[in-house]
């Protein structure tokens, strides 16, 4: 960390942003209390996965797409299979939909637990890491690992593993767990209610730093459920569009200082992710999750980005309950072997949209003769970066008197609150001008 302080101004040049996915570089310069520079740069090496999708047989696309990010690879895989399925006119069975949703809940649980407990919580306990926290509060870390293991097992039972799921395929699943295995999971999920309740207690007692900035939020919206897979794109300003029109809604463009593509909706920064989903879909939450929101004091009017973590806890409750319901249904009905649904045509264009742990994720493919001809991916973190900068611009002047160290700490916490996933963001590029 190279930090120089002049009077009450700050110059922050933080090269080594920790406890986030990927390499980021934070630069803040103020002059006489005014912000001269406020940037979050992406320092991660470029990985042209979008371009690599081009020329691939469509069946391979989900496996390659998964490699965009190790932490939300179920999301990428699901978005990718949905894009292909829509392009080629494939309707999957209800059982497939259930299994996909279940794997998805596994990923949301896994990612949120990782983020809330292992990346964010140390800040609140004044610890530099979960490893240090494990020394002070072993039961907290043990609980986190226990829950994370269950979430990972949920993915593994359905798809072989969490990172780079194996059996989620275009048209269905290539492998099914036995009903007995699902029943075993069900028991563990039910037991995990106690851990989720303890989690709620833990986070209810934490006080999130203050910051209020009204911003637009975007999330998928379905009328039948709290949307994670498919739906319409909904905006907090009231707009609602079919996903095929994502391009008009989310306009991507290059911001010169950082080369992770920032996204602008209607040219204003906007937010995606757990808080965005909560604001748009709170009415579709499981009753227990609604209760959790109330307990955390989280309302749909929330405008403090630090509360993203609170929204994640609410989703934790929701996903656990939904996973229990789904497992129960699968156990009651029994699992049937189904062959993959074959495409009805070989060419087409499709948009797959899901709510990855960090927000709306779009995969858009053009398929020509079973080969991906064009691919475009919109990544949650890229959508959030502009909003995050806007938050920082508002926050910095307010907390300037606290001194460089505290400003840095608050900013780091803010960056972390967004749970940015720079691995995802750099499916395109890198710049490190420093």
How does DSSP assign 79-122, residue by residue? HHHHHHHHHTT----HHHHHHHHHHHHHHHHHHHHIIIIIIIHH
Distance (Å, whole) CA 141 – CA 238:
40
159 lies in the binding site for other proteins (CB under 8 A)? yes
Question: Could you tell me which stretch among 190-198, 263-271, 353-361, 422-430 binds other proteins (CB under 8 A)?
Answer: 422-430
Within 202-261, the residues that bind other proteins by CB under 8 A are 254, 256, 259, 261
25 lies in the binding site for other proteins (CB under 8 A)? no
CB of 213 to other proteins, least distance (A): 26
- Residue selected from 9, 30, 152, 400 as contacting other proteins according to rule CB under 8 A: 152
343 exposed, middle or buried (CB, 10 Å; 0-12, 13-18, 19+)?
buried
CB of 235 to other proteins, least distance (A): 26
**Contact criterion met (CB below 8 Å) for 360 and 383:** yes
373 lies in the binding site for other proteins (CB under 8 A)? no
155 lies in the binding site for other proteins (CB under 8 A)? no
CB of 313 to other proteins, least distance (A): 20
**Contact criterion met (CB below 8 Å) for 42 and 431:** yes
CA dihedral 319, 284, 201, 137 (to 10 degrees): 30
Question: Could you tell me which stretch among 141-149, 226-234, 355-363, 392-400 binds other proteins (CB under 8 A)?
Answer: 141-149
> Is the CB of 42 or the CB of 293 nearer to other proteins?
42
- List, in order, residues 6 or more apart from 388 with CB less than 8 Å away: 40, 305, 414, 415, 418, 420
67 lies in the binding site for other proteins (CB under 8 A)? yes
- Residue selected from 174, 245, 333, 393 as contacting other proteins according to rule CB under 8 A: 174
> Is the CB of 110 or the CB of 322 nearer to other proteins?
110
> Is the CB of 387 or the CB of 423 nearer to other proteins?
423
CB of 77 to other proteins, least distance (A): 12
CB of 331 to other proteins, least distance (A): 17
214 exposed, middle or buried (CB, 10 Å; 0-12, 13-18, 19+)?
exposed
Per DSSP, the three-state class of 356 is: strand
Q: Say if strands 240-242 and 371-378 run parallel, antiparallel, or are unpaired.
A: unpaired
> Is the CB of 293 or the CB of 422 nearer to other proteins?
422
Distance (Å, whole) CA 351 – CA 334:
32
Distance (Å, whole) CA 373 – CA 365:
7
Helices (H), 4-48: none
Within 117-136, the residues that bind other proteins by CB under 8 A are 118-119, 122, 128-132, 134
CB of 123 to other proteins, least distance (A): 9
- Tell me the per-residue interface mask from 78 to 117 with other proteins, x by CB under 8 A, - otherwise: ------------------------------------x---
**Contact criterion met (CB below 8 Å) for 20 and 415:** yes
Question: Could you tell me which stretch among 59-67, 223-231, 235-243, 347-355 binds other proteins (CB under 8 A)?
Answer: 59-67
CB of 352 to other proteins, least distance (A): 19
- Residue selected from 9, 44, 315, 391 as contacting other proteins according to rule CB under 8 A: 44
Q: Cα-atom radius of gyration of the chain, to the nearest Å? A: 21
Nearest to 10 by CA among 403, 429, 426: 403
CB of 97 to other proteins, least distance (A): 18
Distance (Å, whole) CA 152 – CA 18:
23
> Is the CB of 119 or the CB of 217 nearer to other proteins?
119
CB of 175 to other proteins, least distance (A): 4
> Is the CB of 2 or the CB of 294 nearer to other proteins?
2
């Amino acid at each position: 960390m190279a930090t120089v302080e002049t009077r009450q101004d700050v110059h922050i040049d933080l090269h080594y942003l920790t406890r986030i996915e990927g390499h980021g570089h934070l630069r803040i310069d103020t002059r006489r209390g005014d912000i001269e520079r406020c940037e979050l740069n992406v320092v991660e090496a470029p990985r042209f996965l979008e371009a690599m999708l081009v020329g691939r047989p469509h069946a391979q696309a989900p496996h390659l797409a998964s490699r965009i990010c190790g932490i939300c690879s179920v999301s990428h895989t699901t978005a990718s299979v949905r894009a292909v399925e829509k392009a080629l006119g494939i309707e999957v069975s209800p059982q497939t939909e259930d299994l996909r949703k279940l794997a998805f809940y596994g990923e949301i649980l896994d990612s949120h637990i990782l983020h809330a407990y292992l990346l964010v919580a140390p800040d609140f306990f004044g610890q530099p890491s979960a490893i240090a926290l494990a020394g002070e509060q072993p039961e907290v870390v043990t609980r986190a690992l226990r829950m994370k293991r269950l979430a990972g097992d949920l993915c593994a039972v359905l798809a072989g593993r969490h990172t780079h799921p194996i059996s989620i395929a275009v048209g269905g699943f290539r492998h099914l767990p036995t009903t007995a295995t699902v029943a075993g999971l069900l028991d563990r999920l039910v037991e995990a209610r106690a851990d989720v309740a303890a989690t709620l207690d833990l986070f209810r007692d934490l006080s999130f730093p203050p910051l209020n900035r009204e911003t637009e939020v975007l999330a998928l919206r379905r009328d039948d459920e709290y949307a994670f897979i498919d739906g319409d794109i909904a905006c907090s300003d009231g707009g609602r569009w079919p996903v095929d029109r994502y391009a008009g809604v989310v306009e991507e463009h290059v911001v010169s200082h950082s080369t992770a593509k920032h996204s602008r909706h209607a040219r204003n920064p906007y937010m995606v992710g757990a808080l965005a989903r909560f604001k748009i879909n709170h009415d579709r939450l499981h009753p227990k999750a609604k209760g959790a929101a109330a307990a955390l004091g989280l309302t749909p009017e929330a405008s403090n980005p630090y509360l993203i973590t609170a929204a994640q806890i609410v989703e934790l409750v929701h996903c656990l309950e939904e996973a229990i319901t789904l497992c129960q249904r699968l156990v009651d009905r029994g699992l049937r072997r189904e062959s993959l649904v074959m495409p009805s045509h070989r060419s087409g264009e499709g948009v797959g949209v899901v709510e990855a742990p960090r927000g709306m994720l779009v995969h858009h493919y053009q398929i020509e003769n079973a080969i991906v001809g064009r691919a475009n991916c919109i990544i949650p973190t890229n959508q959030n970066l502009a909003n995050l900068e806007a938050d920082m611009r508002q926050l910095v002047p307010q907390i300037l008197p606290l001194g460089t160290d505290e400003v840095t700490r608050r900013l780091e916490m803010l960056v972390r609150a967004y749970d940015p996933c720079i691995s995802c963001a750099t499916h395109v590029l890198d710049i490190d001008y420093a």
